[in-house]
Structure 1
Amino acid sequence: MAVYNDVDDQEVVNLTQALVRIPSVYRPLDPKANESRTAQYVYDYLKGLGLEVYIEEVVKGRPNVIGILDSGRPGKTILFEGHTDVVTEGDRDAWSYDPFGAVIEGGRMFGRGTNDTKGNLSAAIAAVHAIKRSNVKWNGKIILCVPCDEEGMMIGIKHFIKRGWAQGVDGAIICEPEENQICITQKGAIRAVIRTYGKMAHGAMPLAGINPNTRMAQIICELMALEDKEKQRVGQHQYLGLPSITPTIILGPEKGEPQINVIPDQCYSTLDIRTVPGQNHDQLRVDMENIFTRLGSLDPDFKASLEVIESRPWTETSLDDPIVRASVESFRSVARKEPIYNGVPGATDGTFLHLAGIPIVTTGAGDRHIPHQINEYIDLAELIEASRIYAQTAMLFLNE
């Protein structure tokens, strides 16, 4: 059942190159800057392989693609997920290569999305193609889930689940750059907005106003203390490290033009909170609201609001789960060594598949520190290995 030998190495490379050369950065102010061209290419490619394929627009210009390979025999369903969107290339002049050129040099391919995650999407497609043309008998069904907007609010995977595509899936491989390590857990994420409210006044006469900036500073100091408390309470996770509460944006005022000699009437801040097993998102929200209550009891002019705009819980999959066992055994067969277990420092589309009741493993080629950087790259030998691991994982999982 060594179907991984049927993976076409050149197909993995060529498909990655083709996808990277189609820019799919989402830019809200540019109606042509989205995932539509990449999604159409994937749709046509999967059609050409003879798969059952669907394309569904989530919002205008931002479609999901779903490909299905059915064995025709009853059995389990495995899902491979890889998104089509990539982050902005940033300063093009800072790149040593065209960010959408997919240049190959020294065994590496350079370009935005090579690592995160068009390379791994290509590896998954090539793996399914290898299974289709092999003579190996297998049971059940394989789904290729190719959503938009993983780098944003993950509207693609949410739409995929809402449309019912996740029903009946028994296990999922999230195709992200993890150096082909077996990631069985991932951090949760809370994205929140804090606003403090004051009264405008001349900077020379601060008593005539109410300064929202000093109130925001108090909140941030209290949040630092809450972070320390949580670190001490849950400790360092074996794979994910420590939790964090990070203020990322501070604006005063939120709207209008700031001026050095004017106290603004409002201050705006955002939080990027990353959680680990042992933390409860609802309790963290209560803890933050208690900070506001406490500060308000000490200051009659204190006024603040908290808005949680996204809550993505941490995930954890048992080592005994069939999708983990299949991933581990596949890695051993292909790489001929023991796998490294790890965790994902950020949330992925797998977060929402997990919430839908699907056990997940996150694995794929690529240095896990390279995503979103200038001169992003993928090592082609590692990428080909990932494709073989994907193919063998599917066979082991479906024929168990």
Structure 2
Amino acid sequence: MTPPSTQRLDVQIPVDADGVVAFTRDLVRLRTVNEPGFGEAPAAGLVAAKMREFGWDPVVTEPAPGRPNVVATITGDGPGRTLLFEGHTDVVTEGSLDGWTVDPYGGEIRDGRLYGRGAADMKSGVAAMLYGVRALQLAGGFSGTVKVCALADEEGMMIGVHHLVDSGVVSDVDGAIVCEPEGGEICPVSKGAMRFRVTFTGTMAHGAMPQHARNPIPAAADFLRVLDHLQADFTARHGSHPHLGPTYVTPTVLNAGDLDQINVIPASATVAADIRTIPGVDHEELVVRLTDHAERIASERQLRASVTVPVNRPPVDTPVDALVVASLARAHAAVTGTEPVFGGVPGTTDGTILTVRAGIPTVVYGPGGKWIPHQADEFVELADIVSAARVYAVAAREFLSS
């Protein structure tokens, strides 16, 4: 991957540093976990209120009841390109409190860091994109349009971004910056994700009479060996991506029988895998290949195989010379005084859907460490929040005026 030209920009756009930190803290204090009975509504409401305070006119829709998307459109002084900033308002659960030394929703600030669930992933990114675009607006003199989107359910099935694409709101977007935490790296590539599940069904019987059963457990073991061989095959065929590493084929679920019924041969056994792919891996070919293996194993053992693919998100490989990437790189250099470092997203983001479904060139860049999300004592550096907001403002000016 060859970095684009990063000709130094001599531009700075002032950002309300105290305001963006305070707003991040307010968001972190809201428990908007992605689990039944909760949801993003409190954070979405706070985002919409802040947008109205800025004089914007947010549009709130619900991809699912109680799970809002919030979108604001800010127009410049004349026609031009359209840039989208995107973040999500849901967070993962805090898990056991045993690992935390702070209140996950206390918004504690200590030694220049803001602690709490979602501090990095990604309420600081949401705050930074709002304040960055507001700074651009107050600085004046830009053409085109900026869309700011705070979406639901990124940590789940990504219903928020699918709803956004289905609504047509992004049909005119020329580039998108996804504000996920990447530790200061500019990430135009992201791994793909596939979740594959196969259930082998046979005939239940007493453990003392296996001749009357069709045992699905050996078939599950056969399929686990297929997954192991597949990992090695992908490594041989596609190697290791410089920013993403190799493709991973990871068995994550093995379910058969009842632990208290050791004398019973179960009727079914399920194997599931989490597969993380790099550019060059064809997902449709992968589904066919895995399905063929499952059906072959089932046939050999006189069983039935049922295959489902709950998640199928191909990798993203935005060219580094795409305008949205180059604009962000130049903005990063101008604001931070350091040359940009290019990297990759080890998982998937809403940007995956924006690229795969809507064809939008996307790049991921935001405050917070790349590896801190979903951990106890999650935190973000206050300086990183302010810096990201400044970079977003300059990147937008550069993208819209280039």
Is the structural similarity TM-score above 0.5?
Answer: yes
Q: Answer whether contact 2:328 2:395 (CA < 8 A) is retained.
A: yes
Q: CA deviation at 1:146?
A: 0.7
Q: TM-score, normalised by structure 2?
A: 0.94
Secondary structure of the equivalent of 1:66? strand
Distance 1:60 1:150, change over 3 A: same
Secondary structure of the equivalent of 1:82? strand
1:104 equivalent in structure 2: 109
Q: Answer whether contact 2:184 2:367 (CA < 8 A) is retained.
A: yes
Secondary structure of the equivalent of 2:237? helix
Distance 1:364 1:307, change over 3 A: same
Which one of the candidate residues 234, 237, 241 is aligned to 1:237?
A: 241
1:24 equivalent in structure 2: 32
1:58 equivalent in structure 2: 63
Give the alignment of 1:210-249 within 5 angstroms. 210-249=214-253
Give the alignment of 1:17-166 within 5 angstroms. 17-28=25-36, 30=37, 33-134=38-139, 136-166=140-170
Whichever residue aligns with residue 16 of structure 1, its letter is: T
Which one of the candidate residues 182, 185, 188 is aligned to 1:178?
A: 182
Structure 2 Cα separation of the partners of residues 295 and 61 of structure 1: 44
Q: CA deviation at 1:357?
A: 1.1
Q: Answer whether contact 1:12 1:123 (CA < 8 A) is retained.
A: yes
2:256 equivalent in structure 1: 252
Q: CA deviation at 1:297?
A: 5.1
Structure 2 Cα separation of the partners of residues 39 and 203 of structure 1: 55
Q: TM-score, normalised by structure 1?
A: 0.95
CA offsets per residue over residues 156-182 of structure 1, 9 Å max, x none?
Answer: 000011111111101000000101211
Query: Pairwise CA RMSD of aligned residues?
Result: 1.5
Q: Answer whether contact 1:66 1:145 (CA < 8 A) is retained.
A: yes
Q: Answer whether contact 1:64 1:147 (CA < 8 A) is retained.
A: yes
Whichever residue aligns with residue 141 of structure 1, its letter is: T
Structure 1 Cα separation of the partners of residues 205 and 367 of structure 2: 55
Structure 1 Cα separation of the partners of residues 281 and 47 of structure 2: 39
What count of residue pairs does the alignment treat as equivalent?
Answer: 393
CA offsets per residue over residues 21-43 of structure 1, 9 Å max, x none?
Answer: 11100222x2xx11111111111
Comparing 196-205 with 92-101, greater Cα deviation is found at 196-205
2:6 equivalent in structure 1: none
Matched, 1:383 2:393: no
CA offsets per residue over residues 116-146 of structure 1, 9 Å max, x none?
Answer: 0001111111101111222x41101111011
CA offsets per residue over residues 257-284 of structure 1, 9 Å max, x none?
Answer: 7622222111122221111111101110
Comparing 90-99 with 163-172, greater Cα deviation is found at 90-99
Q: CA deviation at 1:328?
A: 0.7
Q: Answer whether contact 1:85 1:150 (CA < 8 A) is retained.
A: yes
Structure 1 Cα separation of the partners of residues 333 and 193 of structure 2: 32
Whichever residue aligns with residue 65 of structure 2, its letter is: K
Q: Answer whether contact 1:172 1:361 (CA < 8 A) is retained.
A: yes
Structure 2 Cα separation of the partners of residues 183 and 237 of structure 1: 13
Q: CA deviation at 1:68?
A: 1.4
Q: CA deviation at 1:295?
A: 2.4
Q: CA deviation at 1:359?
A: 0.4
1:318 equivalent in structure 2: 319
Distance 1:3 1:82, change over 3 A: farther
Whichever residue aligns with residue 62 of structure 1, its letter is: R
Q: Answer whether contact 1:102 1:109 (CA < 8 A) is retained.
A: yes
Secondary structure of the equivalent of 2:58? strand
Structure 1 Cα separation of the partners of residues 207 and 26 of structure 2: 57
CA offsets per residue over residues 201-226 of structure 1, 9 Å max, x none?
Answer: 22333333222122111101111101
Matched, 1:270 2:275: no
Unaligned runs of 5+ in 2: 1-8
1:396 equivalent in structure 2: 398
Structure 2 Cα separation of the partners of residues 239 and 112 of structure 1: 27
CA offsets per residue over residues 31-90 of structure 1, 9 Å max, x none?
Answer: xx1111111111111011001211001111001000111114101110000000000010
Secondary structure of the equivalent of 1:115? helix
Q: Answer whether contact 1:252 1:258 (CA < 8 A) is retained.
A: no
Structure 1 Cα separation of the partners of residues 259 and 297 of structure 2: 28
Comparing 42-51 with 289-298, greater Cα deviation is found at 289-298
Matched, 1:7 2:25: no
2:350 equivalent in structure 1: 349
Structure 2 Cα separation of the partners of residues 26 and 2 of structure 1: 42
Structure 1 Cα separation of the partners of residues 208 and 381 of structure 2: 59
Q: Answer whether contact 1:4 1:130 (CA < 8 A) is retained.
A: no
